[in-house]
Chain A
Amino acid sequence: MTRLIIRRLGSAVLTIILASLLVFLAIQALPGDVAQQILGRGATQESIDQMRSELGLDTPVVIRYIQWLFGAVQGDFGTSLVSGDPVGPTLLLHFRNTLLIAIPTVLISVTLSILLGVFAGLRRNKWQDNSISLLSLVAMSIPEFMMGALLVLAFAIGIPLFPAVVLDGPNATVAELLPSIWLPVIVLSLAMAAYVIRMTRTSTIDVMTSDFITTAQLKGLRESRVVLRHALPTALLPTLNVVAINIAWMLGGVVVVENIFNYPGMGNLMLEAVFNRDLPIIEAVAVVSATVYVACNLLADLTAMLLDPRQRLAKGSSHKAKAKAAGSQAAAAGEGIQL
C-alpha cells in the first residue's frame, strides 16, 4: 500500500517535469526573436546580442531549462517580458481569482449532479431519467460561449442583479470580485454538471444491476439502505475521476468563459500571454496547470484506494488492471472539451 502510493507520487512528479520540458521546448520554437521584440525594429545587432546574453538566450536550451527548473522549484518563475514584474506573484493573484469561481462551481455542480445522476439511474428509462438525460445532453451540446453570451445579455439588459462583465483588474480584493463570480459559476456549473450526471447515471445503473445489490435486496433490506449504504459508495468511484478532471480543467483556467465575462483569472492570463508572446508566463501557467491536473488525478486515485479495497492490491493483479482501465475510460468520458 505505502509502496504503491510512493510509486504513484514518483510518477506524478515525473509527469509534471516531462510536461514542463515539452512546453519549454515548444515555446523555444516560437518564431520571432525575443530580444528583437523588446528592443524594437531600430535596434543594432550589437545591442540585440547584448540583450540576448542579458536574457541568457545565448546559452544552450538544455542548460536554460535546468536553470529554469531550479528557479521554478524555489518559486521563481522569472520576470514577465511585457510588464517586467516577477511572474510568481502575478500567477498567484490570477490563481486566487480562478479559485474564487472554481470552488463554488465544484460545490454546486457536484452536489446537484450526483443527486440528479443517481436519481436518473434509479429511475432508469422512466420519464424522470429521460428528461434528465435529455437536458444534460443539450447542456453538453451548447457551447459555453453561447451560454455566456446569453447570460451577459440577460443580466446586462434584463435583470441587473449581477454585473455582466468584470471591470476590476486582477488586483481587486475578494470582496470586490464576489458579486461578479456568479455568472461564470452558472455557466461552468452547467458545463461540468452535464458530464458528471451522465457518468453518475451510468455507474448507478451498472451497480444496481450487479449481484451484490440483488443479494442486498433479497435479504429484505429497505431500498433506501440498499442505495445509500451498498450501491452509492461503489457507484461514485468512477464519478471521482470525472470530477477530478473537471476540477483540474477549471483550476487551469477556463479561457472562453473568463474571456466572455472579462474575469481576471488564469484563463485570461493565458490568453493575454499567448497574444503578447510573454514566454515566462506561458511556461509558468502550463506548469501550474499540469501540476494541478496531476495532483487532482492523484487525489482521485488515492481516494479510490481508500473507498475500494480492490485497488489497494499491488500492480499486476487482475483487479488492479481492470480498475485502472475503468478509471482511464471514465476519465476520457469526462474530459469534455476543456476550454
Chain B
Amino acid sequence: MKSVLRAAGPVFIIGIALIAINLLLAFLAPWISAYDPIASNSDAALQGPTAAHWLGTDMYGRDVLSRTLNGGRYALLVTFLATTIAVAAGALLGCLVAFLNNWIDDVVMRVVDAILSVPTILALLVVVAVFGSGMWVIVLAVVVVYTPAVTRVVRGAARSVSSLDYVTAAKARGEHAGPIVVREILPNVLDVVLVEYAMRASWVVLLISSLSFLGFGANPPAPDWGLMVAENRTALTVVPLATLGPIVALATFVIGLHLTADGLGKKLGVDRAMTGVQ
C-alpha cells in the first residue's frame, strides 16, 4: 500500500488526504460537533471566535463550527450519488455506442450534442422547476446534465479500444455487445473513467453549492455550505468566519479532487487535455 501511494506522487497523496479529511469530518459531524447545528441562541448572536464557539456564531447565534462540519453532509452525499450515477451511465453508454459504431452511435451523439448545447444551469433549473427541489430531484438533474458530457469523453477513448484485436476476437467468438462492452472495452478505458470521475465530482460539488446559494437545494435552517454563504455574506465584516468557514471547507475539497485527478492522470498516463493527440 505504501509503495503504491509513493508511486502516485505527492500531488495525488495531498489530493486524497484533502478529500479524506473532508469526508471523515462530514461523516463524523453529528458526533464531533459541540452544538446542535440548527439550534439558535439569540443571546450569543454574531460573536467572534471564543473558547465556547471556536469559529464564532452567526446572526441567529448558531455555532459556525458545528454548522460547517455538518454543512458538507448534504452537498457531499448529493455529489457522490450524482457523480457516481452520471459517470457510470455515461461510461457504459459511451463504450456501447463506440463499440456499435453505427446509426445508433450517430443518433445518441446528436442528442448528446443537443443536450450539451443547452446551458447547464438552465437545464438544472428546468428540472428543478418541474419536480421541485428534493434531494433525488437534484441528483436526477445533475445526472441529466453530466451524463452526456461523460458519454462524449468516454466514447472518444473507447473508439480507439474497440478496433483492437481482442475486441475483434471477442466478436469472432460470437459474444454479444453487452459482455464485450463490460469485459473487454470498459476495463481498458477505466483510467479515463477514473480521472473523469474526480473532475466531474469537483464540478458537481461546486454546482450543488451554487444551487443552494441561489435558493434551490438545501432548505433553511439546514446547515449547508452554499446556504451558509448566502445567509452570512451580508454580515461578512461582522463575522467573517461564518462565511470563510464553509468556503475553506468547500475549496479544500475541490482542490483535493483536482489534485487527485491530476495525479491520477499523470500516473495512468491520461492527460485530460491531450489524449488522442499522441
Contact = CB atoms under 8 A, between A and B. Distances in A.
Contacts of B38: none
Given A15-B110, A289-B122, A333 B206 contact: no
B50 interface: no
Contacts of B202: 141
A249 B122 CA distance: 11
B250 interface: yes
B209 interface: yes
A270 B277 contact: no
B191 to A, nearest CB: 13
Q: Which of A206, A277, A328, A329 has the most CB of B within 10 A?
A: A329
Contacts of B116: 293
A325 interface: yes
Contacts of B209: 143, 145
Contacts, number: 182
Nearest to A142: B251
A300 interface: no
Contact of A293 (B117, B125, B129): B117
A253 B119 CA distance: 8
B126 A26 contact: yes
Q: Which of B152, B247, B273 has the most CB of A within 10 A?
A: B273
Contacts of B255: 137-138, 141
Contact of A149 (B160, B210, B243, B258): B243
Contacts of A183: none
B229 interface: yes
Contacts of A106: none
Interface residues of A, number: 66
A274 interface: yes
Main secondary structure, interface of A, reads: helix
A282 B122 contact: yes
Interface string B223-259: 0001001100100110000010001001100110011
B24 to A, nearest CB: 19
Interface in A234-263: 238, 249, 252-253, 255-256, 259
Nearest to A157: B237
B119 A338 contact: yes
B121 A255 contact: yes
A22 B114 contact: yes
Interface in A1-24: 11, 14-16, 18-19, 22-23
B174 interface: no
Contacts of A11: 110, 113
B118 A289 contact: yes
Q: Which of A18, A26, A146, A206 has the most CB of B within 10 A?
A: A146
A19 B149 CA distance: 15
B206 A337 contact: yes
B172 interface: no
B113 to A, nearest CB: 5
Interface in B127-163: 127-130, 149, 152-153, 156-157, 159-160
A271 B125 contact: yes
A129 interface: no
Nearest to B209: A143
